[in-house]
Amino acid sequence: MANKQKVPIVSVNRNKGNRIVSIGTSVPPFASTQDESFKILENHYKGKVKASSLALAKKVFAHPSVKQRHFGTDDPSELFGEDPDRRVDRFTKWAVRLSCEASRKAIEAAGLAVRDIAAIAVNTCTGYICPGISTYVIEELGLKPDIAAYDLVGAGCGGALPNIKLCSSLLNEKPGSAVLSVSVEICSAVFQMDDNISLIISNALFGDGASACVLRGTGPGLELLDYAVIHCPQYRDDIRFVYKSGQLHNQLTSGLPKIAGKVVADLVAGLLGRNGLSVKDVKHWALHAGGENVINAVKDGLGLREEQARWARETLGEYGNMSSPSAIFALKKAIESGIAPGELGIIIAFGAGMSAYAMLFKKV
């Protein structure tokens, strides 16, 4: 790992009192166990890739950290040889469907009507359409036609937290209103396969899903106390998408867990330090479910107890790595397990760049 220069940690919008009041999640109905997924892959690629690649894939798919994943398709065979036009169509169909499903659940859980939503932001990194996903969600949900709408791309697996940060800022402009933050990834829309270890691991790890958070300035929920971000472009080639023949291919390196552990530890140390806190003061941790080795490295780098990584591990096991919605799935699990008023928590997300984000909250 060359060039370990530190990048300043940025703090924004501290102690504004805005809070996440509800969360909705959605995954496609088609689910496949890891054994089923490997058999589908093997049946299609036997004789088309090296036998050693399939042997490695079998070993990776068999790892117990992931039990099953959900995919935006009615027929998994359509992922093989899917042309770019059909891929964009499938991405659009499932990104809109899952975004709307998660949003409806979040709005209902907040006790609101769609007319109460004053702004929406949608982030994704697994597809691009213009106009953006937000406009489709506005249409499908019947949101106000003059609603403030933003589409965010390129933040990778970390995208949910800068999205929530933006929505908190939008909420400050519209006191008394509600804002909708949506993260959606159709990771199957960037499926590729050849004799490449990054692709083999990705094909055993990523799944599709969406999360939606409703933010308000009052009411019970998770008050957002502080936010931190760190960008480390010296690690850009360790975790990113690259274009080959006009299509996205996932690129991961073997050193990624160690990098993630160090970057997140530095980020959280700064966040806690400026708030006069230590790790032991924070009871609840919603970590990005980036993979077994990544979760282990982040847990160890922060000095967390195993139970504090529970929600990330459960998310990974049930859904795989869904990229940006993953941390919010873990947060929802933490909420459902019980967070008492006054208790502190931190949401952590990180990905392409390498960029990492952390948000400190208190149950109110």
* Domain 22-216, architecture per CATH: 3-Layer(aba) Sandwich (3.40)
Query: At what angle are helices 133-141 and 84-109 packed, to 10 degrees?
Result: 50
Q: Which two three-digit tokens encode residue 357? A: 């984000």
For the chain, the domains span: 10-16+221-363, 22-216
Q: Can you give the pTM of this predicted structure? A: 0.94
Q: What was the pLDDT predicted at 16?
A: 61
Specify the higher pLDDT residue, 12 or 89. Answer: 89
DSSP letter for each residue of 290-336: --HHHHHHHHHHHT--GGGGHHHHHHHHHH-B-STTHHHHHHHHHHH
- Is the pLDDT at 9 greater than 80, yes or no? no
Per-residue pLDDT reduced to its tens digit, 236-270 = 877 787 878 777 778 778 888 899 999 999 999 99
**How confident is the model at residue 3, as a pLDDT?**
44
The two domains 10-16+221-363 and 22-216 share their CATH topology (first three levels equal): yes
CA angle, 314 then 72 then 194, to 5°: 90
Q: How confident is the model at residue 4 (pLDDT cuts 50, 70, 90)?
A: very low
pLDDT category at 89 given cuts 50, 70, 90 is very high
Pair 162, 353: CB distance under 8 Å: no
What would the two tokens of residue 288 be? Answer: 């990005």
pLDDT at 102: 98
Q: Which residues contact 269 (CB under 8 A, 6 or more apart)?
A: none
Query: Each residue of 34-62: pLDDT tens digit?
Result: 999 999 999 999 999 999 999 999 999 99
**Topology (CATH) of 10-16+221-363:** Peroxisomal Thiolase; Chain A, domain 1 (3.40.47)
Tens of pLDDT, residues 298-341:
999 999 999 999 999 999 999 999 999 999 999 999 999 999 99
The whole-angstrom separation of Cα 350 and Cα 345 is: 17
Picking from 191, 230, 227, 176, the residue whose alpha carbon sits closest to that of residue 6 is: 230
